[in-house]
Amino acid sequence: MTEQIGSTAILARGLCRYFGTRVAVHDINLELRRGEVLGFLGPNGAGKTTIMRMLTGNLAPSAGRVEICGIDLLLKPRDAKARVGYLPEIPPLYRELTVNEYLRLAARLHRVESRIIRSALAKITQRCGLSNNREQLIGSLSKGYQQRVGIAQAIIHDPDVIVLDEPTAGLDPNQMREMRSLIRELGADRSVILSTHILSEVESVCDRVQIMHEGRTVFDDSIGRLKQKGTSLEESFVRLTMNQATV
Amino acid sequence: MILAVAQKELKILFSSPLAWLILALVQLVLTWVFLAHLDTFLEIQPQLIKIANPPGVTETIVAPLFATAAIVLLMTTPLLTARLIAEERRNHTLPFLVSAPISIAEIVIGKFLGLMIFLSALIALVAALSLSLLAGGRLDFGLLLSNIAGLFLISACFVSLGLYISCLSAQPATAGAGAMGALLGLWVMDTVAADEDGAGIARNFSLLAHYESFNRGMIDTFGLAYFALFTLIFLMLSVRRLDNERMRG
Ligand SMILES: Nc1ncnc2c1ncn2[C@@H]1O[C@H](COP(=O)(O)OP(=O)(O)O)[C@@H](O)[C@H]1O
Ligand SMILES: [Mg+2]
């Protein structure tokens, strides 16, 4: 029984979101097992950010439901949110705090036990390559390091589900590589959902890919099967997202 | 959780020169007012002694000092409340708090509490000034306590109103100006109400009129209830406003 619940980390059914009369997300279904990395692809305005905001409790869906590890996000937001880590498109950083102060705050807000906060901080800064920046003000860090702090706050409480909105946007090629290997590492024992515009990133990091267009899922398959069939991701992307626009 | 939010607010507040500047300026202004009242008191003391039941230092120095302190706080709290929510919105940091397993109410109360701790330090400075009079005489502690309670309660009202206005805006400057306008409006309304005869209703709903009772040492339950209700209503409006944002997007 627990095996069964434990195997599905994130479940969304019939997720819809309207802004006024405008449809941003329409009838999205999502199921992700532990240890899976899902890549969200889609042109700008496809609805990726909106879905992620709904999965993390930042935006109420117009219809549909979300379960995190079997816990209903709308009915028990507190329990569900405790198992999710979220890095928004714009990292939510307090420039006036040091890396240490900020991550300690993140840990406390996520109910990390106070006696293990110190070791959790040491572990997370080590893992995200921030060991030498712990006393630095976040405002004084470069973009790449700020992105690391953003990731660190999303995983400090050891969540089962990690949601990353364009985690590699604005990074240089070296930082991108580091970020990807970190994501792969995280995806080994957790569920990760990430959005990106880089098709090769999906192929190298993700187990599954879902292409969004105008708020709908137009493609959903595993990378393994894609490679088996010899279909190019780029070709599918262009065909699916151009097609619909001209219809 | 609430404490973690409050602590964060204080840390960010003290990382800017604004907090220190306000502490210093308020202290400077109030000390000056205090000394002016003390000076007047010493001048008229010889005449006061001839009266059968002379007013003590608490009535002639402490009460006017607290009356001024309330006006000073009315003008400085908007500077402090402005950034509470508006700045989080401008810097896109609200998702950090909202994604955490805490409720919107806890976030709002934490922010309110953080600022109240800061203002308590200011109020403690005013109380310390008053207590320094013990060096040369006796104090009416009942009156002093009633003044401290009144100042504390009225600043809670200022903070909750400012916090709510900060929820309405994405720009701290706008939020500050809005809160300042609202509080000045309340103040003007009070003086207008005081001018008219029998303006009982207006006075019943005036913050400063209730503060005046505390200032004179009269703690009435209506005043207490009024301050508590005022604070609670604006805190609840803030929670509602932020909750609605999740619905509207
Ligand atoms: N707060 C909002 N108010 C109104 N429309 C919005 C809001 N947020 C997103 N949208 C609309 O929803 C659609 C999806 O946006 P978004 O999820 O940000 O796309 P993506 O992240 O895939 O680029 C867009 O058309 C956008 O204009
Ligand atoms: Mg987006």
B56: containing domain: 2-248
Do A169 and A242 lie in a common domain? Answer: yes
Tens of pLDDT along A182-233? 999 999 889 999 999 888 889 889 999 999 999 999 989 888 888 888 778 8
**A135 plus A189 within the same structural domain:** no
What pLDDT sits at residue B249?
A: 72
Nearest residue of B to residue A49, measured between CA atoms: B249
Domain end call among A123, A143, A158: A158
Residues of chain A with pLDDT under 70: 1-6, 243-247
Q: Write the residue in A81, A88, A97 that is nearest to B101 by C-beta.
A: A81
User: Rounded to an integer, what distance in angstroms lies between the CA atom of residue A173 and that of residue A168?
Assistant: 9
Is A144 found in the same domain as A104?
Answer: yes
Q: What is the DSSP string of B67-104?
A: HHHHHHHHHHHHHHHTHHHHHHHHTT-HHHHHHSSS-H
The per-residue pLDDT for B137 is 77
- The span from the CA of A25 to the CA of A46, in Å, is 8
User: Is residue A135 located within the same domain as residue A168?
Assistant: no
For residues B141 and B129, what is the distance between their CA atoms, to the nearest angstrom? Answer: 14
The domain total for chain A is 2
Domain contains A1: no
Instruction: Choose one of A15, A16, A17, A22 to mutate for the ligand 1 pocket test, by most ligand atoms within 8 angstroms of C-beta.
Output: A22
Among A158, A175, A202, the domain-final residue is: A158
Q: Is A57 within a domain?
A: yes
**Which chain B residues have a beta carbon less than 8 Å from that of A138?**
none
Summarize pLDDT for B183-194 with one digit per residue, the tens. 998 888 777 766
Angle, CA A36 vertex, CA A154 and CA B247 arms, to 5°: 50
- Return the pLDDT at A91: 96
**Exposed / middle / buried, residue A137 (Cβ in 10 Å: 0-12, 13-18, 19+):** middle
CATH of the domain at A183: 3.40.50.300
Return the ligand 1 atom nearest residue A215 CA. Answer: 14
Phi, then psi, of A17 in degrees rounded to 5: -150, 125
Q: Do residues A189 and A69 share a domain?
A: yes
Question: Are A187 and A233 within one domain?
Answer: yes
Burial class (CB in 10 A: 0-12, 13-18, 19+), A185: exposed
Give me the number of domains chain B comprises: 1
pLDDT < 50: residue spans in chain B:
none
Q: Return the pLDDT at A3.
A: 44
Interface test with A, best of B94, B96, B248 (most A CBs within 10 A): B96
Number of neighbouring beta carbons within 10 Å of residue A196: 22
Residue A122 in any domain: the answer is: yes
Cα A188 to ligand 1 centre (Å): 31
Read out DSSP for A33-74? ETT-EEEEE--TTSSHHHHHHHHTTSS--SEEEEEETTEETT
Tokens 């203002």 locate to B119
A189 plus A225 within the same structural domain: yes
pLDDT at A6: 47
pLDDT of A246 reads 47
What share of chain B in percent tops pLDDT 70? 94
**Residue A171 in tokens:** 């990074």
Interface of A with B in 218-247 (CB under 8 A): none
Q: What is the pLDDT of residue B195?
A: 66
Centroid of ligand 2 to alpha carbon of A140 (angstroms): 26
Distance CA A243, CA A43 (A): 13
Task: Quote the domain boundaries for residue A78.
Answer: 8-83+160-246
Domain end position, chosen among A102, A123, A158: A158
Q: Are residues A147 and A181 in the same domain?
A: no
